[in-house]
A and B are shown apart, each in its own frame.
Chain A
Amino acid sequence: MDLQPAKETAEDIRGLTPISKFLGLIACFLLFCMMMVTFVDVVGRYLFSSPLPAAYELVMLMMPTLIFCALPLSVLREGHVTVDLLDSFVPASLAKLQAVLINIFCAASMALITWRLGVRSMDQYTFEEVTDVMIIPLWPVSASMTVLSAVATIAFLANVWQSATRRS
């Protein structure tokens, strides 16, 4: 369930919106595939005594890409859970500064996650980490997570810009 976006979001920033829309569509596609994989696996197991080999690993591998492809979209919609109890006490002049600082905080956290996923990916490459059943290397998975969370970081920076230039 999506929480209602704030009045103005960074959705209209040039270039970023189409990119996040496109990534969102990839996430949709993966979610649909995940559903089909489960269905085909269960049906195959009963009707033809042949489950999809390693269906659980397939589903597992789809998860990170699904989540991180959808991340920029949810960042631009400002759809994160917040405590807005004090909103009515914050004067308008301060609210703008607050919005800027919050988005900087989020951008910094996201940048940290991006950096560490990148390191994780390099380690997985060095140590040849692979999945259990299909022996698929894991580093491309974390590498794509790195790229996608970099896009999410940029989306937060776009929110910083947007809230700094927003007229209240």
Chain B
Amino acid sequence: MTEALIGLAALLILAFMRIPIAFVMAAIGFIGMAYVNNPIAALYNVGQTTFDAALNYELSVVPLFVLMGNFVARAQLAAQLYNASNAFLGHRKGGLAMATVVACGGFSAICGSSLATAATMSKVAMPSMRRYGYADTLATGSIAAGGTLGILIPPSVLLVIYGILTQQSIGKLFAAGILPGLIGVLFYLFAVRYVTWRRPQDGPAGERMSWPERFRTLSSVWGVLLLFVIVMGGIYGGVFSPTEAAGIGAFGAFVFALVRGALTWKVFIEIMEESVATTAMLFTVLIGALLFANFINLTDFPQALVRIASLFEDTPWMVIVAILVIYILLGCVFESMSMILLTVPIFFPLVDHLGYDPIWFGIVCVVVTEISLITPPVGLNVFVLRGVLPDVTTGTIFKGVTPFWVADIFRLAVIVLVPWVSLWLAGYVS
């Protein structure tokens, strides 16, 4: 118990000293194992964990969903989604921000990663919001927050990881993520509404389009629909497994980009390089998190947590509340994937023990870790935006996402209190 707490404290301190989180987790995991077990065994565990994490069939969805997202981003699908949502919403107050949120939701349906969603949408939506004189806070806030939808609305890399960790059906998890994702879109729209109600000058109305024009833009989003139907339909129609779906989806997006003429050789190489660099980054985090989890596994920390939780057997909801608070706090510093990897092996047996539905808990986990993407100090979506828009300060973006963050807390409450929202669609999956 003490070792685990010291390890966690050291983790936070070193992370704040700007050492890459992946290597902090790896180093502390190794030192912790050496102390709790023995140095020789810890040394062997480093080699073994690294090898096992890399030689893993199920994790092949990670590079493939990332690749799919990158192909889709270059095939102008995001721009068309944005134009279509804009045609319907742009003339309202804050309409461009609303269109951004809706387009993010649509893009999430074919992209497995939040970072890719945020990066793509910032390139597409930011210029027109600037043109219409939107405040940077609202503009960047809607993109950073909208981007978080990427990991909840299927396909989702994070739901796959949760499914692998807890042996739950990935198809069910994907189905369970759809409604909470739509609720997320709805609540973000309310957040935009709220901002423009308080400060109308932040989101001036754009031009109104005629209905024929609107439907014309709608007809161009068929590509997104087609890809979504191929990937999800393939999974639920039993044509391929969710693991294979990533490969099929990437291939579909590749063909799409090719047919659209979006792929010059240079662009193609750029897409591939970006995808493999992201993959390397994600797997470094994964390996670090696994080493740290191996250390925690050897301490009696997990058992102690279960013991503490069993004190609340009569009021299990208190355990859930405690877990949520821990997640939101951890989410300030950690990135969503490290958080899931670090905590699910610890919390899942606990939640399972208390009789909660594992699919429901998966959605709760993903929603709550999704919030971490936009909370300071480490909010990856915020960083991505700052990278794409160097003239906007991190502070501005964090300020801009605050209303969306509040919307997320409301959504989290709905999902926690009404499990039906997650379980209804999942019930239709055999």
Do A and B touch directly, given a CB cutoff of 8 Å in the complex? yes
A residues with CB within 8 A of B: 1-4, 24-25, 27-28, 31-32, 34-39, 41-42, 46, 56-57, 59-64, 66-71, 73-74, 77, 79-87, 98, 102, 105-106, 108-110, 112-113, 116-120, 138, 141-142, 145
**Once the chains are docked, how many angstroms separate the CA of A38 from the CA of B287?**
25
**Once the chains are docked, how many angstroms separate the CA of A117 from the CA of B274?**
26
Stretch at the interface among B13-21, B166-174, B296-304, B347-355: B13-21
Q: Using Cβ atoms and an 8 Å threshold, which residues of chain B touch A61?
A: 55
**Once the chains are docked, how many angstroms separate the CA of A167 from the CA of B67?**
37
Q: Using Cβ atoms and an 8 Å threshold, which residues of chain A touch B273?
A: 24-25, 28, 73
Q: Using Cβ atoms and an 8 Å threshold, which residues of chain A touch B21?
A: 80-83
Extra inter-chain contacts (20) besides given A28-B273, A28-B275, A80-B284, CB under 8 Å: A1-B384, A3-B383, A28-B276, A35-B250, A35-B251, A38-B247, A38-B248, A42-B240, A63-B60, A64-B54, A66-B276, A81-B285, A81-B335, A81-B378, A84-B18, A102-B17, A105-B27, A109-B27, A117-B47, A119-B47
Q: Using Cβ atoms and an 8 Å threshold, which residues of chain A touch B377?
A: 83-85
Interface status of B325 (Cβ within 8 A of chain A) = no
**B40-55 to A contact mask, C-beta < 8 Å, 1/0:** 0001101110110011
Q: Using Cβ atoms and an 8 Å threshold, which residues of chain B touch A106?
A: 19-20, 23
**Once the chains are docked, how many angstroms separate the CA of A36 from the CA of B246?**
11
Interface status of B321 (Cβ within 8 A of chain A) = no
Task: Identify the interface centre among A35, A116, A117, A119: most chain B CB within 10 Å of its CB.
Answer: A35
Q: How far is the CB of A163 from chain B (nearest CB, A)?
A: 12
The residue in chain A whose Cβ has the minimal distance to the Cβ of B59 is: A63
Residue contact B113 to A1, C-beta cutoff 8 Å: yes
Q: How far is the CB of A102 from chain B (nearest CB, A)?
A: 5
Interface status of B115 (Cβ within 8 A of chain A) = yes
Residue contact B57 to A98, C-beta cutoff 8 Å: no
List 26 A-B residue pairs with CB atoms under 8 Å apart, sorted by A's residue number: A1-B116, A2-B278, A2-B281, A27-B276, A31-B275, A31-B279, A35-B251, A39-B251, A42-B248, A63-B54, A63-B56, A63-B57, A66-B63, A66-B279, A73-B276, A74-B277, A74-B280, A80-B20, A81-B285, A83-B16, A83-B377, A85-B16, A85-B376, A109-B26, A112-B30, A120-B51
Residue contact B60 to A71, C-beta cutoff 8 Å: no
Top-8 shortest CB links A-B: A38-B247, A4-B387, A116-B47, A85-B377, A1-B115, A28-B272, A80-B20, A120-B47
**Once the chains are docked, how many angstroms separate the CA of A134 from the CA of B57?**
15
The answer to whether A105 and B54 touch (CB under 8 A), given A34-B63, A39-B248, is no
The answer to whether A86 and B113 touch (CB under 8 A), given A71-B284, A74-B281, is no
**Once the chains are docked, how many angstroms separate the CA of A3 from the CA of B118?**
12
Q: How far is the CB of A9 from chain B (nearest CB, A)?
A: 13
Q: How far is the CB of A76 from chain B (nearest CB, A)?
A: 10
Q: Using Cβ atoms and an 8 Å threshold, which residues of chain B touch A24?
A: 273, 276-277
The residue in chain A whose Cβ has the minimal distance to the Cβ of B27 is: A109
Q: Using Cβ atoms and an 8 Å threshold, which residues of chain B touch A81?
A: 20-22, 281, 285, 335, 338, 378, 380
B residues with CB within 8 A of A: 15-23, 26-27, 30, 43-44, 46-48, 50-51, 54-57, 59-60, 63-64, 66-67, 113, 115-116, 118-119, 239-240, 244, 246-248, 250-251, 254, 269, 272-281, 283-285, 287, 333, 335, 338, 376-378, 380, 383-384, 386-387
The residue in chain B whose Cβ has the minimal distance to the Cβ of A78 is: B20
Q: Using Cβ atoms and an 8 Å threshold, which residues of chain B touch A57?
A: 57
Out of B48, B57, B335, which one reaches A59, CB within 8 Å?
B57
**Once the chains are docked, how many angstroms separate the CA of A142 from the CA of B274?**
24
The residue in chain B whose Cβ has the minimal distance to the Cβ of A72 is: B280
**Once the chains are docked, how many angstroms separate the CA of A127 from the CA of B47?**
16
Residue contact B47 to A60, C-beta cutoff 8 Å: no
Residue contact A116 to B63, C-beta cutoff 8 Å: no
**Once the chains are docked, how many angstroms separate the CA of A59 from the CA of B17?**
38
Q: Using Cβ atoms and an 8 Å threshold, which residues of chain B touch A80?
A: 20-23, 281, 284
Out of B30, B57, B113, which one reaches A56, CB within 8 Å?
B57
Residue contact A83 to B15, C-beta cutoff 8 Å: yes
**Once the chains are docked, how many angstroms separate the CA of A15 from the CA of B44?**
32
The residue in chain B whose Cβ has the minimal distance to the Cβ of A59 is: B60
Q: Using Cβ atoms and an 8 Å threshold, which residues of chain A touch B30?
A: 112
Q: Using Cβ atoms and an 8 Å threshold, which residues of chain A touch B284?
A: 71, 74, 80
Q: How far is the CB of A143 from chain B (nearest CB, A)?
A: 11
Q: How far is the CB of A11 from chain B (nearest CB, A)?
A: 12
